[in-house]
């Protein structure tokens, strides 16, 4: 019998995605009803994502006021609003494993979407948006044209994009670069051999976002690490698969996992740590891949040797000390603690890293930005995403800092849009705190698309 309130640390079970029963419609419906009835009786998650208000409205508006009179066809509304932020599982739900109720809401939503994927119910447009490597390469070949066409103020093209791809005309979209982070890997920064951390070596897993959309993150990370004596290589076999994960395409995620883990194995053998630049990607490598492929030795070893960039810097500072040269950032910084950073269960490492900058006030916002990967840019979701993120935007403005930053680049942009709806003047936003750490070191700044 589990303790009341599930006081133990939450645990997750391997995902039996190759078992035919995993995709069985009857079994999925039975599990949805079991879990939704528990959620109905608890309702602690009412103020997280939009999934829970939708669920509770369905129940409250049903003839009986209970789950038994909610048609199963209505459950898709609840599933569609889940962004896999994991906050219900990590911070709110008292019934997660090892509690006997064994409730894992995000992974149940994943199972539902996997069944939709297997049944061919994922639309063509959504599938194309998830092809981040292909899209990044194509857009990078015509970066100027792509950025012009997707600019927020280009109403004609954005309305056309809305018709073709279902993207909201007002949603800010990532920029593309003709020269990716991987293309710039030949520009090796000078290694500070006098730094306390000299002798360490790491592989930077570029991630599709840093590679195609925000090379400034990668360049800043590499410069900071080199200044602190860490020799780095940049490696990018393929996307971590988070966009496909959101659509339930678990076979494709597993294929990406095996490809990346297989290539990283040799680097790990040579003593390299693996550093991920985006928290969603770090979460996949550390936690989700091992649940998807529990018997894959390369995936297990990669999980054990992967660090979020903020996690790595904080550990470096703790174990060896940082190289001198950090200067204050006038006006202070407000950090949005991204959901997928919190879901890594490593503590507020982004805030810890920024607090290494002397005489710089750091405020923290722990509310969800509402963006949710590709979810928040879609026509049917954009206004809801801004509503979900409004408390975070309000807190960021109230802090009064000169800078607002998130460990999630998409969240940073979304927060900017949320703040712009609340105030005529907003702080400057940047895509990732590693960019501010590089700035505090006085390092030359690459262009960032989140100003």
DSSP state of 189: P
Structure tokens at 140: 């990078």
Q: What is the pLDDT of residue 2?
A: 45
Sorting pLDDT into bands at 50, 70 and 90, what band is 3? low
Q: What is the pLDDT of residue 451?
A: 37
The fraction of the chain above a pLDDT of 90, given in percent, is: 82
Structure tokens at 359: 């005489």
Query: For the ranges 126-130, 222-226, 437-441, which has the lowest average pLDDT?
Result: 126-130
Q: What is the pLDDT of residues 320-370, one digit of tens each?
A: 999 999 999 999 999 999 999 988 989 899 999 999 999 999 999 998 898
Contact in structure between 236 and 210 (CB atoms under 8 Å): no
User: What span, in angstroms and rounded, lies between the C-alpha atoms of 113 and 135?
Assistant: 23
The strands making up 403-406's β-sheet, listed across from edge to edge, are 362-365, 333-336, 403-406, 428-430
User: What span, in angstroms and rounded, lies between the C-alpha atoms of 180 and 281?
Assistant: 18
Residues 6+ apart with CB under 8 A from 146: 139, 140, 176
Residue with tokens 């954009």: 382
Residue with tokens 């770090």: 282
Domain ranges of the chain: 20-118, 124-165, 183-317, 326-440
Quickly name the fold that domain 326-440 has. Answer: Rossmann fold (3.40.50)
Strand intervals (E) in 212-360: 231-235, 273-276, 306-308, 333-336
Q: What is the pLDDT of residue 446?
A: 66
Question: Which helix H or strand E contains 308, and what residues bound it?
Answer: strand 306-308
Question: Is residue 208's pLDDT more than 90?
Answer: yes
User: What span, in angstroms and rounded, lies between the C-alpha atoms of 333 and 322?
Assistant: 20
Question: Is residue 99's pLDDT more than 70?
Answer: yes
Q: What is the pLDDT of residue 1?
A: 44
Contact in structure between 180 and 277 (CB atoms under 8 Å): no
> Given the DSSP bridges, would you call strands 333-336 and 273-276 parallel, antiparallel or unpaired?
unpaired
Q: What is the pLDDT of residues 396-426, one digit of tens each?
A: 999 999 999 999 999 999 999 999 999 999 9
Sorting pLDDT into bands at 50, 70 and 90, what band is 4? very low
Question: Is residue 23's pLDDT more than 70?
Answer: yes
Q: What is the pLDDT of residues 155-190, one digit of tens each?
A: 899 999 888 889 999 999 999 999 999 999 988 999
Contact in structure between 133 and 242 (CB atoms under 8 Å): no
Question: Which helix H or strand E contains 376, and what residues bound it?
Answer: none
Nearest to 217 by CA among 242, 186, 192, 180: 180
Sorting pLDDT into bands at 50, 70 and 90, what band is 79? very high
User: What span, in angstroms and rounded, lies between the C-alpha atoms of 54 and 149?
Assistant: 34
Q: What is the pLDDT of residue 447?
A: 57
Question: Mean pLDDT across the chain, nearest whole number?
Answer: 92
Q: Could you check whether the bond before residue 98 is cis, i.e. omega within 30 degrees of 0?
A: yes
SS (H, E, C) 40-89: HHHCCCCCCCCHHHHHHHHHHCCCCCCHHHCCHHHHHHHHHCCCCCCHHH
Residues facing 235 on adjacent strands = 205
Query: Residue 236 phi/psi, 5° resolution?
Result: -150, 85
For residues 147-162, average pLDDT: 90
pTM for this entry: 0.93
Q: What is the pLDDT of residue 5?
A: 47
């Amino acid at each position: 019998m589990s303790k009341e309130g599930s006081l133990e640390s939450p645990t997750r079970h391997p995902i039996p995605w190759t078992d035919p029963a995993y995709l069985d419609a009857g079994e999925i419906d039975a599990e949805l009803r079991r879990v939704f009835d528990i959620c109905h009786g608890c309702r602690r998650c009412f103020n997280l994502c939009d999934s829970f208000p939708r669920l509770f409205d369905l129940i409250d508006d049903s003839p009986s006021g209970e789950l038994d009179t909610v048609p199963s066809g209505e459950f898709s509304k609840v599933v569609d609003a889940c962004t896999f932020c994991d906050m219900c599982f990590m911070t709110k739900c008292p019934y997660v494993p090892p509690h006997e109720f064994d409730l894992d809401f995000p992974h149940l939503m994943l199972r539902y979407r996997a069944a939709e994927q297997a049944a061919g119910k994922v639309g063509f447009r959504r599938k194309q948006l998830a092809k981040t490597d292909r899209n990044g390469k194509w857009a990078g070949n015509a970066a100027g044209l792509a950025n012009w066409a997707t600019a927020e103020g280009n109403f004609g093209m954005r309305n056309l994009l809305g018709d073709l791809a279902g993207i909201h005309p007002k949603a800010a979209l990532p920029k593309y670069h003709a020269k990716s982070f991987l293309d710039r890997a030949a520009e090796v920064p000078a290694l500070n051999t006098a730094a306390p951390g000299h002798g360490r070596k790491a592989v930077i897993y570029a991630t599709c976002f840093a590679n195609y959309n925000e090379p400034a993150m990668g360049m800043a990370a590499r410069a900071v690490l080199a200044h602190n004596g860490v020799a780095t290589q940049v490696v990018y076999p393929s996307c971590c698969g988070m966009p496909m994960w959101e659509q339930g395409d678990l076979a494709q995620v597993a294929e990406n996992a095996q490809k990346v883990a297989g290539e990283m194995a040799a680097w790990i053998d040579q003593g390299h740590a693996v550093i991920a630049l985006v928290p969603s990607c770090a979460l996949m490598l550390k936690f989700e891949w091992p649940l998807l492929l529990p018997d894959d030795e390369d995936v297990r070893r990669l999980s054990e040797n992967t660090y979020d960039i903020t996690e790595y810097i904080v550990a470096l500072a703790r174990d060896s000390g940082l190289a001198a040269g950090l200067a204050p950032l006038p006006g202070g910084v407000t950090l949005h603690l991204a959901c997928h950073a919190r879901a890594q269960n490593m503590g507020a490492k982004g805030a810890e890293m920024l607090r290494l900058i002397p005489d710089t006030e750091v405020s923290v916002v722990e509310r969800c930005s509402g963006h949710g990967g590709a979810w928040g840019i879609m026509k049917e979701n954009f206004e809801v995403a801004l509503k979900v993120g409004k408390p975070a935007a309000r807190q960021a403005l109230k802090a009064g800092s000169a800078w607002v930053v998130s460990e999630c680049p998409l969240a940073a942009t979304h927060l900017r849009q949320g703040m712009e709806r609340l105030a005529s003047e907003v702080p400057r936003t940047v895509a990732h705190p590693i960019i501010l750490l590089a700035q505090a070191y006085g390092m030359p700044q690459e262009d960032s698309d989140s100003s």
